[in-house]
């Protein structure tokens, strides 16, 4: 290597992004659009697979619907970001390196930690061995194959949050021959206003989903789900949507994490213990005035964009700006032709305004598709701004 080449390599700032979910991919595209190919900033996106996981649509895949397969390298086309496929096995914050499962070691100057959450299958005995999850498209496809082969029987969906509600409704609509039972601690749509919550319950009743609230699953066995007091619910298939957990890599690396293992960040989304590490999406414990954000695509994409802009500001010798975010809506599909959209205050508490029926379904489908035009706009935008979706609209954010 020539001395000139060595000098150029030495001045290259290496940004490594771990995880290509909505937040990580937003960061990669935002950064990759703003830096020059072969310039003094190298952006590398690391993910375990090349296929992008549309988590917002996995309940559709699980019910047997075929969705387009999106390639992460193709989504990065037209940017200066590079893709590396591999499982991250360790992060060394002292050496500033990331180790991949094939023993590759990637050095970094700035790290964006975006390893999102997955279903918590460790909290209840038997879930890991006997329940299905919606962590990846492959997981959803395995469940779809199982459901298509049942003919009849009972499907138990555990977890009455939004993923559980959408999954139960979708399965019941696509497989009317199956008995669908939704089990959960809370009432479906519990965070909505009373009228929207009643609409959710009526839609589930229409689809003949049997809802049992205020129950907790204590064990999953082959063919049955155990409840407290010895009660059993027969199950030919169990879908687990109750609770999530994040990768233990952040804690193992020595980053400051909260009780859930999420990286604790400062106002600019930097780790409070290691400021060269940004944490975004589900992987981060991001505090706003109303409390700590919860993981959604709605909030994840803006965190990725903000981290990218903050990195660029820092490279220019400027201070990164604080991250500010308020929730706007909670869209919930109830099969292919029905939905509820609960509009919210910035702290995610429900407003009086909500949509239902086909209007809500069209709204929800527009929002679900929003990442693609957003990423396309990022690639075409001038250097002065960024875009992310908010309630089906695009909000412009100035870097300077």
pLDDT digits (tens, 9 = 90+) for 326-357: 999 999 999 999 999 999 999 999 999 999 99
Predicted confidence (pLDDT) at residue 394 exceeds the cutoff of 80: no
Beta bridge partners of 224: 221, 234
Query: Which residue ranges make up each domain of the chain?
Result: 3-117+246-325+370-398, 120-241+327-368
Is-contact 63 170, C-beta < 8 A? yes
Q: What is the mean pLDDT of the chain?
A: 90
| Percent share of the chain, pLDDT over 70 | 90
CATH fold label, 3-117+246-325+370-398? FAD/NAD(P)-binding domain (3.50.50)
pLDDT value for 373: 59
Pick the more confident residue, 256 or 364: 256
pLDDT value for 38: 84
CATH fold label, 120-241+327-368? FAD/NAD(P)-binding domain (3.50.50)
Is-contact 139 108, C-beta < 8 A? no
Place of tokens 């706003």: 288
pLDDT digits (tens, 9 = 90+) for 10-52: 589 999 999 999 999 999 999 999 998 888 999 999 999 999 9
pLDDT digits (tens, 9 = 90+) for 176-206: 999 999 999 999 999 999 999 999 999 999 9
3-117+246-325+370-398 and 120-241+327-368 in the same fold: yes
Is-contact 43 151, C-beta < 8 A? no
| Contacts (Cβ under 8 Å, ≥6 apart) of 67 | 54, 57, 60, 61, 137
């Amino acid at each position: 290597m020539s001395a000139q080449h060595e000098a150029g390599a030495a001045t290259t700032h290496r940004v490594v992004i771990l995880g290509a979910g909505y937040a990580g991919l937003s960061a990669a595209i935002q950064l990759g659009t703003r830096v020059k190919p072969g310039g003094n900033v190298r952006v590398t996106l690391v993910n375990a697979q090349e296929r992008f996981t549309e988590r917002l649509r996995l309940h559709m895949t699980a019910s047997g619907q075929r969705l387009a397969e999106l390639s992460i390298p193709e989504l990065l086309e037209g940017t200066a970001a590079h893709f590396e496929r591999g499982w991250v096995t360790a992060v060394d914050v002292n050496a500033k390196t990331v180790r991949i499962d094939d023993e590759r070691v990637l050095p970094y100057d700035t790290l964006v930690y975006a390893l999102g959450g997955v279903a918590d299958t460790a909290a209840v005995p038997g879930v890991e061995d006997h329940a299905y999850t919606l962590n990846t498209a492959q997981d959803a496809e395995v469940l779809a194959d199982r459901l298509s082969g049942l003919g009849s029987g009972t499907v138990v969906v555990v977890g009455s949050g939004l993923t559980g509600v959408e999954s139960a409704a979708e399965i019941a609509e696509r497989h009317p021959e199956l008995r669908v039972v939704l089990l959960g601690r809370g009432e479906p749509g519990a965070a909505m206003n009373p009228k929207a919550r009643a609409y959710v319950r009526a839609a589930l009743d229409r689809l003949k989903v049997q809802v049992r609230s205020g129950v907790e699953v204590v064990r999953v066995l082959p063919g049955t789900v155990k409840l407290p007091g010895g009660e059993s619910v027969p199950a030919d298939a169990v879908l687990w949507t109750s609770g999530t957990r994040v990768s233990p890599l952040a804690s193992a690396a020595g980053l400051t994490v909260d009780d859930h293992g999420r990286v604790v960040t400062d106002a600019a989304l930097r780790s409070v213990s290691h400021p060269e590490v940004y944490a975004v999406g589900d992987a981060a414990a991001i505090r706003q005035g109303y409390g700590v954000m919860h993981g959604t695509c709605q909030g994840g994409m803006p965190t990725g964009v903000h981290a990218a802009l903050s990195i660029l500001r820092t490279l220019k010798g400027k201070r990164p700006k604080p991250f500010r975010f308020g929730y706007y809506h909670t869209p919930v599909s109830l099969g292919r032709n029905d939905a509820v959209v609960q509009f919210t205050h910035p702290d995610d508490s429900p407003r009086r305004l909500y949509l239902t029926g086909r209007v809500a379904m069209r709204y929800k489908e527009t929002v679900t598709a929003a990442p693609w035009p957003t990423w396309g706009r990022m690639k075409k935008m001038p250097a002065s701004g960024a875009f992310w979706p908010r309630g089906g609209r695009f909000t412009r954010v100035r870097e300077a």
